[in-house]
Structure 1
Amino acid sequence: MNNDKKVEERILSAKEDYNKIPVPEEMKEKLEAGIERAEAEIGRAKTEKWEDKEGMGMKKKEKTDKKKRLYRMAAAVAAAAALLVILPNTGADVAYAMGNLPVVGRLFQAVTFRDYQYESERFEANVEVPRIVVEDVGKGEMGKEEAGTGEKEAGTGEKEMGKEEGGEAEKGETENRDENVQQTVDEINFDIEQATSQLIEEFQESAELGESYGSLEIHHETVTDNENYFTLKLSMYRGAGSGFESYKFYTVDKRTGKRIQIGDLFQEDSNYNELLSENIKEQMRTQMAEDEGKVYWVDYEEVPEWSWERLKEDQNFYFDTEGNIVIVFDEYEVAPGYMGAREFTVQRALFEGILK
């Protein structure tokens, strides 16, 4: 009997237990209390006329300005109510069966954990600071351990010992991966918190002085979430007279749990940098030939030291839905400011043969 059949049987056999599991009273009370607090907050928000965030006074807002926040609160109430039904009914057998099903695109998730808004006559901020959370890390360990035990019972003699060792090896690999995942996520979240907190503090200092104009926009987006990779894009825009837009891309290899840079994708001595860089230069030259309004600092004879030559070791990148690599440059990195941030897609057919 194959593994898929075993998983299916466990799911079916767990059905009756799933429906019989009682709701722990303590959990029920906590969740219901959370729902009541959220509902009360919504009621207050509907009649609230003044706000004071991050220690700064804010002007009166119309009711329509609060719709976004009210929607988030309502969603929180719905989610908490759903937990009353879902959480108690996750029995051990169901957890085992679900843990052994292939999980694609659900291991990592980006959520907004800080929402900072500010508005005055001269300054405005709209900030959503993300945090990566990990689901299912370690969930497969129970299945791996039981699978190793099952193989042990089925085998005899040397065959039995070999299977047992194999099960232990798989369990060890899973534990190492889970440790890598948690460490990687902690490091990324710390980096995000540092970068965004610094920008918010600088904005607050300028707003308190009130001597100029300024804006701050920080948003996030999951740009890659496939079987092998997860990439979070952090977009940061600072405006003070003129604006400046920059990005941070965080890519995690789901198979190892480690954060990777672009060079980690390719075989050693593959000359990937030259291959991709030359392709991007050709795209730049083509765009300039087709549109005289476009300018890139490639073959730039006027100021040779400005000419872009090759990708950085920590170059921003992500995979698109077709498996192509998209290279991302910050504003002013490869072109004048009016060109903004730039992206170039390198077709997978060009580099597929040198991937690890």
Structure 2
Amino acid sequence: MKNLEELRRLQEIHAPEQLKERTLAAIEQGKEVIDMKQLRRKTRRRIATAVTGVAACFIVAVNASPAFALGLADIPALGALARIVCVRSDIYETADSTVTVSVPEVQGEQTDRVNQLIDEQVKAYEAKAAADLAEYKAAFLATGGTEEEFAVKDIQVKVDYDVKYQSDAVVSFGLTGSQDWNANTVERHYYNLRLTDGSEITLKDLLGENWVEEANTQIKHQMDVHDGASEMKYFTAEEGGFQTVDENTKFYLNEQGQPVVVFEKFEVAPGAMGEPEFTLDLTR
């Protein structure tokens, strides 16, 4: 009899109405999250088609009409585009990621070699991103994750560029590849070019015959000033830190036309210091 009474009591217990409402709301919210991700994917596909069409029209206008190009050069926000035109702006999806690519083309004399190099580096980064993502996915699945959970991450892979400096004769810009799941996947390339013949501008061109000594002196001085004022220090030479600049040292020209040397993360300093930059004074 006692067991029967307990059974009846249990049957009379009902979940509070608020709990039911909250549970249903949580389920609906989960559905909305999934629906929004699907909507964003569809929207990106539509935008990709539109952007590609706009970029193509812009290129035709610049290449076909010198007057149009000259008009753009007079507009501060668009002046750089008269020299550097985005020839491919594309968004496409893989099974586990969304890839956004904006590839520049340099407009000038004898710039085919540069544009080919840009295209090769972009393709190389896309291939690297695919390999990185495959490795990440394999590790995710090996630790208990599911295909569905990984797909929800919607990894973003981006290749983009930004103009650093431009004049009638010179242009400097950067090309950046990134993956939002890992900050260590960022890659940067810099281009400093003469528009008259497409030739590359070097640190030697800017600093003179003693460019190595001059650049090293300025960089080491700036490091010393920083280390004297901050608890986070640059690596010493014994720790594998900065030794010297060379022909492969990355740099771009800032808005004043000064060279800015850039080191990769962990190259000369702890990762928390990011990618250290050093502006070199050309008036010394």
TM-score by length of 2: 0.64
- Correspondence for 1:109 among 81, 85, 100: 85
Quick check: 2:170–2:195 contact (8 Å CA) kept in 1?
yes
Task: Report matched runs for 1:119-134 at 5 Å.
Answer: 125=97, 127-134=99-106
1:220 aligns with 2:160: yes
Quick check: 1:245–1:340 contact (8 Å CA) kept in 2?
no
Distance 1:59 1:235, change over 3 A: farther
Distance in structure 2 (CA, Å) of the matches to 1:83 and 1:318? 25
Cα RMSD for the two superposed structures: 4.1
1:312 aligns with 2:284: no
Quick check: 2:171–2:192 contact (8 Å CA) kept in 1?
yes
Quick check: 1:245–1:341 contact (8 Å CA) kept in 2?
no
Distance 1:310 1:78, change over 3 A: closer
- Correspondence for 1:275 among 207, 214, 235: 214
Aligned-pair CA distance for 1:65 = 6.2
SS in 1 for 2:111: helix
- Correspondence for 2:270 among 336, 342, 354: 336
SS in 2 for 1:327: strand
Quick check: 1:261–1:315 contact (8 Å CA) kept in 2?
no
Task: Report matched runs for 1:1-356 at 5 Å.
Answer: 61=37, 63=39, 70-71=46-47, 73-74=49-50, 105=80, 106-116=82-92, 125=97, 127-135=99-107, 178=109, 180-207=110-137, 210-211=141-142, 217-222=157-162, 223-237=164-178, 243-267=184-208, 270-292=209-231, 294-297=232-235, 300=236, 304=238, 306-350=240-284
> Structure 1: which 5+ residue stretches go unaligned?
1-57, 138-177, 351-356
Aligned-pair CA distance for 1:288 = 1.8
Aligned-pair CA distance for 1:239 = 7.1
Larger Cα-atom Rg:
2
Deviations 1:146-169 (A, max 9, x none): xxxxxxxxxxxxxxxxxxxxxxxx
Aligned-pair CA distance for 1:69 = 5.3
Quick check: 1:188–1:250 contact (8 Å CA) kept in 2?
no
Aligned-pair CA distance for 1:311 = 1.2
> Structure 2: which 5+ residue stretches go unaligned?
1-33, 74-78, 144-149
- The amino acid across from 2:158 in the alignment is I
Distance in structure 2 (CA, Å) of the matches to 1:110 and 1:77? 12
SS in 1 for 2:221: helix
SS in 2 for 1:331: coil
Distance in structure 2 (CA, Å) of the matches to 1:79 and 1:130? 10
Aligned-pair CA distance for 1:331 = 0.3
Distance in structure 2 (CA, Å) of the matches to 1:231 and 1:334? 24
Distance 1:72 1:245, change over 3 A: closer
Quick check: 2:260–2:277 contact (8 Å CA) kept in 1?
yes
Distance in structure 2 (CA, Å) of the matches to 1:117 and 1:251? 32
Q: Percent identity?
A: 20
TM-score by length of 1: 0.53
Distance 1:59 1:265, change over 3 A: farther
Distance in structure 2 (CA, Å) of the matches to 1:312 and 1:127? 34
Distance 1:226 1:309, change over 3 A: same
Aligned-pair CA distance for 1:295 = 1.5
Deviations 1:58-91 (A, max 9, x none): 986254566555555455566788999x69xx7x
SS in 1 for 2:184: strand
Distance in structure 1 (CA, Å) of the matches to 2:53 and 2:70? 31
SS in 2 for 1:259: coil
Distance in structure 2 (CA, Å) of the matches to 1:98 and 1:64? 35
Aligned-pair CA distance for 1:130 = 3.5
Distance 1:68 1:278, change over 3 A: farther
Distance in structure 2 (CA, Å) of the matches to 1:306 and 1:83? 46
- The amino acid across from 2:227 in the alignment is M
Aligned-pair CA distance for 1:101 = 9.8
- The amino acid across from 1:186 in the alignment is Q
- The amino acid across from 1:272 in the alignment is W
Quick check: 2:207–2:214 contact (8 Å CA) kept in 1?
no
- The amino acid across from 1:218 in the alignment is K
Distance in structure 2 (CA, Å) of the matches to 1:263 and 1:134? 23
